[in-house]
Every structure is written in structure tokens, then in C-alpha cells.
Structure 1
Amino acid sequence: MLETEAISPVMRALADPTRRALFERVVDANEITVVELTRASAITQGAISQHLKTLKMAGLVSERPEGRKVYYRARPEGLEPLAEWMNHYGVFWRERFSDLRKLLKEIDP
């Protein structure tokens, strides 16, 4: 069975559209700072920092301090609980669609 403790923080973190967009920007960059994320955004630096904190707690980003700057990088392994969950339910839905196809063929020969 799937571990709900592992997937819940990831799902909560990615449920917010602003945070999801921020995560995508971090993914697209090798490393990026809060200042760089703020520059191309209508969101305040404080709000971006809060979103990054949530992403970090969910295991989706890591940080690397260097002097006064902190660089953020995506952690692909943080998405593993979500990928496992989707795979589990993907099998479930494929089976259901297969059953539905069989049923529809029986109804409409």
C-alpha cells in the first residue's frame, strides 16, 4: 500500500498554482535565487520565500547558501511519492477502462 505520510506534503505543496509555477521555474533553472525568482514575478520576495519553504519541507527543492545568497535547486526524487501514487492509480484506471470496453462490446455487438 502507498504511504500517505510521504505523498501528503508533496500534494499539498503542488496543490497551490502559484507554488506549482514557482516549482516549474526552479526545475527549469539549474540553480536560482529568490531575487531571480522575484524579478520575473508579481509576487513579493517574502511570499516567494514562504513558497520555497513549503517546497523544501515537501522535499521538492534543496537550498545551497553561498555568502548572502541562497540558491535553490529542484530535487526530482521528491516527486517519487507522487509518481508511485499515479502509477498505482494508473493501473486501477486502466483495468476499469478495459472492463468498460468489454461491457460496451457486450451491449453493442
Structure 2
Amino acid sequence: MTEAASIDAIMRTLADPTRRAVFERVVSTDEISVAELTEGSGVTQGAISQHLKSLKLAGLVVERPEGRKVYYRAQPDGLAPLAEWMRHYGVFWRERFTNLRTLLKEIDDE
């Protein structure tokens, strides 16, 4: 998957609020099962499984089967392409704010 496709997949995957909530629950634990994710979520086990499938395809979670259960954990490098893309724009905006600060100082000094 190219980096642009990877960023698109991550953004598309996390755009869904329920899927984002599932991802946040996975991230907040070392490892969690579908049944544990379903408890108190107000979402069916089938829907949770579909959200996990999307998260897995985007590289955001990994699974570990154990008997009849499957456990999920966050993929540490899953958000790296998105973080790198955002870092680029952070540099862009820092430069713009520095230029604005300089301009405002010059105006104030006049």
C-alpha cells in the first residue's frame, strides 16, 4: 500500500465515530476481545467485528486468536503515516505564524 493510500485508508477508517470509539477502547488496553468490546457499547457483536476488520485492514490493530476467542491490540506503527502527514503541515503552519509574528512586530515598531 502506498503512503497516500495508507493515509486515505486510515482517515476513512477513523472517520466513522463508532469505529473510532472501538479503536480508542483497543488502544486503552493491552489486549481486548470482541466480547469485551461489545459489553456496554450499545453495538452488536457482529458490528464490532466489522469495525475491527476495517481497523485491521487499515493497519491500526492486530489480532491474536486463542481457541474460540480472538484478542485485539493496537498496532503501534498504524498511525505513523498519518502522523508524518500531519507533521508536514505542522511545519507549514509554524513557518506561517513565525512570518506573521515578524510582520506584526515590524508594524508595531513603526
TM value normalised by structure 2:
0.91
Overall identity of the aligned pairs, in % = 73
Partner residue, 2:3: 3
Give 1:88's aligned amino acid: H
Alpha-carbon distance in 1 for matches of 2:93, 2:47 = 38
User: What do the CA deviations read for 1:4-58 (whole angstroms, capped 9, x no partner)?
Assistant: 1221111111112211111111011111111100012111111111111110000
The secondary structure found in structure 2 opposite 1:62 is strand
Give 1:12's aligned amino acid: R
Alpha-carbon distance in 1 for matches of 2:29, 2:46 = 20
Alpha-carbon distance in 2 for matches of 1:3, 1:68 = 35
Q: Gaps spanning 5+ residues in structure 1: where?
A: none
User: What do the CA deviations read for 1:65-106 (whole angstroms, capped 9, x no partner)?
Assistant: 111111111001011101101111110110011111122223
Partner residue, 1:26: 26
Please give the root-mean-square deviation of Cα atoms over the aligned residues, in Å.
1.4
Q: How does 1:1-109 map to 2 (within 5 A)?
A: 3-109=3-109
Aligned residue pairs total 108
TM value normalised by structure 1:
0.92
Q: Gaps spanning 5+ residues in structure 2: where?
A: none
Give 2:105's aligned amino acid: K
The alpha-carbon deviation at position 3 of structure 1 amounts to 3.1
Give 1:53's aligned amino acid: K
